[in-house]
Structure 1
Amino acid sequence: MQRSMLFLLALILASCQPGVYKHGNKNERAMAHLKANLEFLASDALKGRETGSHDIKVAAEFIRSRLEMYGLQPYGENGSYFSNIPFQKQGISDSSSITLIKGKTRGHYTVNRHFYAYRGGDSSYQGVEQPLVFVRFGIEDSTFEYNDYKNLDIKGKTVVLLLGEPERQGDSTFFNGARPTKWSRSSAIKRKLAREKGAGGIIVLLSPRGMNMWKNMKRFMGSSKLGLAQKQDHEIPEILIDSTLARNMFDIRDLSYDQMYKKLQDPDYDGSVLNGRSIQWNLKDQTEKITGHNIVALLPGSDPALAGEYILVGAHYDHLGMRNGQIYNGADDNGSGTVVVMETARQMAHIKGNKRPVIFVWFTGEEKGLLGSKYMIEHAPFRDNIRAVVNMDMIGRESADSIYVLASGLSSSAYHALVEEANKKSARFVFNYSLDSRDHPDRILYRSDHWSFAQKGIPTVFFTDYHHTDYHKASDDVDKINFLKLKKAVELTRQTVLDAANGSDDFIRDNWTEEAK
């Protein structure tokens, strides 16, 4: 669909909204803007705003048209409001398979039944046979004087590794104490290390808890995955295997998977059973290039001396699209944050009270792994001049009197204090910090776009209503939104941004440590 057609569709649909913008007091006008914008963005017409779809382009055109109306300057590429992001949609052909070779015995296993693929590897791996090497957790970390690769030759071989990390001696917690280290957060860091060490392929075994969810994993592991397009000179196959394949690989059939996993974790288990065994790869990649768009607007500051210091306000505008014929409108996730940033931009453009410039951004690809914000922090020309960040993700449900707050003190105690004071001067929410922990089992701290900036030590704050019964369901609709809470969220956001834009505090990163990453 051409850009002009997208614009026309967005304009026609948006024109159907109630014409109430010019009536009532400022609170009534704010509520009218919030409701009208959300009713469009979370309507069935946009089919769930999935990243890379035609429908999210309509949403982007609608937001762009509003920014022009508000008088915000375009701050994307080539004088536009759009920052183009190269995505790659990658999947594995249903005909893909692997063969486990044990002497003269050959066992054949099919994709999306016995294994899921992180990567299929490039075409040079078709039919290639590689020896198997057990590397236990696949961790090398000098801080803990721990190395699973010691005295192992893995070059050109397929490594087999466990998710998680070892227990402390005499303890049942992580080897850094009660808090999981980076090695437990995902398999990505382990797979990266294995690639750097020259592995020819990677096989990952889930924890018992993860294996219990195997059938449900097809929803997100068994389909094509969207990621940032990256130049890869050489890709190796990387897969996640089921309990049947794992047992056959290690010849452990008389134990439950839980018992087998504990056995494999034991430092005395050397994995020598894999000696002489190999894997033959027959994976076929399917790749599609897609362009996505962050939407970026600028409200210039009034003080030329502060022109190089930006306050960034953001929310992701993508959602899940359609599943099984149902539209996932994502009114709260994250239509709510999207329209709060829009209304904050409208009001601030009218007030023009900021000394420092303010960047308003609507991220794409958050639901695919924070892709839009990851791209921005690595490629935006202003990335090294971001002074502070405000992020909103799901803020339209539950009580209008309280809100969850995360990350405000992660790097700077001064920024935390500023956010507290801004709230006292505006919405007067009851701040709930119960999710603001790296140890929280739901790991909310890491699951929205603020985290892309927080990892760089940039002062951030993340406002959310947390997890409700309609989270990632087709029932997340506009009729359940608390618009009074959205209005108060605008007040809080506006005051926080103004205080950060006009204050003299340098937000010294007194709380920042490398462990925060």
Structure 2
Amino acid sequence: MREQARVRIVRGVLAIVAAASIGCATATQQSERGQGGGDPLSAQALSRRLYAFADDSMQGRQFGLEGNLKATAYLAAQVQRLGLRPGGDNGTYLQEVPAFRISLSPGARVMLDGAPLELGTDYLPAYPSSGRVHVPLSTTIIYGGNLADTTTLISPEQARGKAVFFNATNPNQAMFARAVRFTTAAALISIQNPRMGNPYIITTSQDTAAGLNRFIVSDDLARRLFGAEVATIAPGTAGKTLSFSNYAFTRAPALAHNVVAILPGSDPTVRGQYVAIGAHNDHIGMRRAGPLDHDSLRTFNTIAQRIVEARTKMTPGFPGQGLTPAERASIKVNVDSLRRIRPARPDSVYNGADDDGSGSIGVLAIAEALTRSATRPKRSVIFVWHTGEEGGLRGARHFTDNPTVPRDSIIAHFNMDMIGRGAASDMIGAGPGYLSLIGSRRLSTGLGDLVETVNRQQAQPLSLDYSLDADGHPERLYCRSDHVHYARYGIPVTFFTTGGHMDYHQLTDEPQYIDYDHLRKVVRLIHDVTVAAANVDQRFVVDKVKVNPNAPCAQ
């Protein structure tokens, strides 16, 4: 990219960030004023709720931790205030999702040639969901090769009883799958920054079998393993001795909840059937490695997205992804102009305003609107805020495996995940009125038709995009959110989303960047679709092939 073009991108991005700072102050003032008894589907009411739900005090709402418990308590208090019927366990609004916290036992030590290594700085375990691994007292480290090049890998026999170190450039799941073949190794080691991970995992697995002893190490420790740069080492080269003392894990129960509430239907003949509306109440917590400057991070990610889009005509699937080394090196962030507006803002909370604060407060707004309505839907509506979506759709799996109403009484499920953005600057193909629909006709043509009919009846119909629902789409969004667990049981679904953006899973996913007027239109559409679905004369016909509930998801 020519230097002039890069400069134009940088200047444009800095102007956008500066404008957002003014919008932040305005939105905060609106949030503080509140809306009293106004329209719960209004932009102002949605803003007020989202500023509360995505506040720093929620600590990023990570599954199984205090922040997520605060979020679920907030939602439960709100639906209780609305007078909705409890739909959780034992007459409450909470459905417990059995979970466990796995952490390294106190006193556990790992040593390299007798010198202790520091947890979280030198290394970090890949915490086994069972809390058990086979660990030798000591073993020799051996270089296993580069996972990106299968021709460099040693044989499983060479790995037997050894701590095998694998190099990997831009590691992915396919590479890690290659490493798992070495089941007779004493340990599997790869490079990744230990400071970026948490000193625990939260799991819902009931598995008790001992797993492979795996962990990641820092770049510095990787060099120390062999006393040389990894790139200079031949596969099969032996390194130093790794030893373990009192190396074990603790597996303790962790609290996690779905929030479930029910609005009973008005027609006794179909009141026992349900339309389900859902979103996920969790996000990804806090940055363990410490705070980053909010403005610098957002500016870098925005510039990076513009550069990749200009070259590929596609929006990267993750912020900062897709840059060439030269492009990455070309980005110089200068936020001096912003500093004249406000000081630097260190940020360590992943607020998840769009992901999925927007969906969570959208469900809550629809619940309030329906309770206030003079005319109730014929069928009942069940509202489910699933936990653990970010860790593998755990809350949705638990609810659909253990529903609090008969599973076959649920006639449709509507999922809202990231519905607060959708501007042309967020994603190529987006723009005014943008809304992506995923899965709406994968099980029932009738459900897809109903969504389109209701959209045409809106005062301002949205521009519906089905491109992300295409078979074989590389982003696989159909398989990556909660609705898929309803669909595996043959329940017709529609996933509503305004798509990705430069703040996805970043510290910068905050309420000031939400387009509240657009969010209002999306939530209004889903409200009206819910009412229409709850009032249909007959259940939606499943006229597409149902899948095996236990089969892997395919798009």
Q: TM-score range by the shorter chain?
A: 0.5 to 0.7
Alignment of 1:80-479 (within 5 A): 80-92=92-104, 116-119=125-128, 125-127=134-136, 214-215=192-193, 219-220=196-197, 223-228=199-204, 230-239=205-214, 283-323=247-287, 324-325=290-291, 326=347, 327-351=349-373, 352-382=375-405, 384-385=407-408, 386-399=410-423, 400-426=432-458, 428-437=461-470, 439-479=472-512
The residue number in structure 1 matching 2:91 is: 79
Give the 3 Å change call, closer, same or farther, for CA 456–42 of structure 1 in structure 2: same
Query: What are structure 1's unaligned runs of at least 5 residues?
Result: 1-15, 131-151, 163-182, 261-272
The residue number in structure 2 matching 1:146 is: none
Q: 2:59 aligns with which of 41, 47, 55?
A: 47
- Distance in 2 (CA, whole Å) between partners of 1:387 and 1:93 is 47
8 A Cα contact 1:437 1:445, kept in partner = no
Give the 3 Å change call, closer, same or farther, for CA 395–310 of structure 1 in structure 2: same
Moved more, 443-452 or 88-97: 88-97
Q: Which amino acid aligns with 1:392?
A: M
Cα deviation 1:117-155 (Å, max 9, x = unaligned): 24186668343799xxxxxxxxxxxxxxxxxxxxx99xx
Give the 3 Å change call, closer, same or farther, for CA 59–227 of structure 1 in structure 2: same
- Distance in 2 (CA, whole Å) between partners of 1:254 and 1:481 is 45
Instruction: Indicate whether 1:512 and 2:546 are aligned.
Output: yes
Give the 3 Å change call, closer, same or farther, for CA 456–203 of structure 1 in structure 2: farther
Instruction: Give the SS at the match of 1:296.
Output: strand
TM-aligned CA deviation for residue 70 of structure 1: 2.4
Instruction: Indicate whether 1:63 and 2:97 are aligned.
Output: no
8 A Cα contact 1:30 1:487, kept in partner = yes
Q: Which amino acid aligns with 1:443?
A: R
Q: Which amino acid aligns with 1:466?
A: G
8 A Cα contact 1:405 1:463, kept in partner = yes
Instruction: Give the SS at the match of 1:489.
Output: helix
TM-aligned CA deviation for residue 390 of structure 1: 0.6
Q: Which amino acid aligns with 2:211?
A: I
The residue number in structure 2 matching 1:142 is: none
8 A Cα contact 1:398 1:465, kept in partner = yes
- Distance in 1 (CA, whole Å) between partners of 2:133 and 2:188 is 21
TM-aligned CA deviation for residue 411 of structure 1: 2.5
TM-aligned CA deviation for residue 467 of structure 1: 1.5
TM normalised by structure 2 equals 0.64
- Distance in 2 (CA, whole Å) between partners of 1:225 and 1:371 is 14
8 A Cα contact 1:121 1:238, kept in partner = no
8 A Cα contact 2:490 2:542, kept in partner = no
Give the 3 Å change call, closer, same or farther, for CA 116–486 of structure 1 in structure 2: same
- Distance in 1 (CA, whole Å) between partners of 2:187 and 2:266 is 56
TM-aligned CA deviation for residue 305 of structure 1: 3.0
TM-aligned CA deviation for residue 379 of structure 1: 1.8
Instruction: Give the SS at the match of 1:472.
Output: coil
- Distance in 2 (CA, whole Å) between partners of 1:506 and 1:202 is 54
Give the 3 Å change call, closer, same or farther, for CA 404–255 of structure 1 in structure 2: same
8 A Cα contact 2:488 2:546, kept in partner = no
Give the 3 Å change call, closer, same or farther, for CA 286–254 of structure 1 in structure 2: closer
Give the 3 Å change call, closer, same or farther, for CA 236–20 of structure 1 in structure 2: closer
Give the 3 Å change call, closer, same or farther, for CA 285–254 of structure 1 in structure 2: closer
Aligned CA RMSD, in angstroms, stands at 4.7
Q: Which amino acid aligns with 1:309?
A: Q
Q: Which amino acid aligns with 1:340?
A: G
TM-aligned CA deviation for residue 359 of structure 1: 0.5
Q: Which amino acid aligns with 2:422?
A: E
TM-aligned CA deviation for residue 488 of structure 1: 1.0
Q: Which amino acid aligns with 2:450?
A: L
Give the 3 Å change call, closer, same or farther, for CA 349–237 of structure 1 in structure 2: same
Aligned residues: 435
The residue number in structure 1 matching 2:36 is: 21
- Distance in 2 (CA, whole Å) between partners of 1:157 and 1:414 is 58
Give the 3 Å change call, closer, same or farther, for CA 22–246 of structure 1 in structure 2: closer
- Distance in 2 (CA, whole Å) between partners of 1:234 and 1:200 is 15
- Distance in 1 (CA, whole Å) between partners of 2:444 and 2:176 is 27
Cα deviation 1:247-281 (Å, max 9, x = unaligned): 9x9xxx99999x98xxxxxxxxxxxx99xxxx998
- Distance in 1 (CA, whole Å) between partners of 2:174 and 2:268 is 46
TM-aligned CA deviation for residue 393 of structure 1: 1.1
TM normalised by structure 1 equals 0.68
- Distance in 1 (CA, whole Å) between partners of 2:222 and 2:34 is 62
Which protein is richer in strand relative to its size?
Answer: 1
Instruction: Give the SS at the match of 1:312.
Output: strand
Identity of aligned residues (%): 28
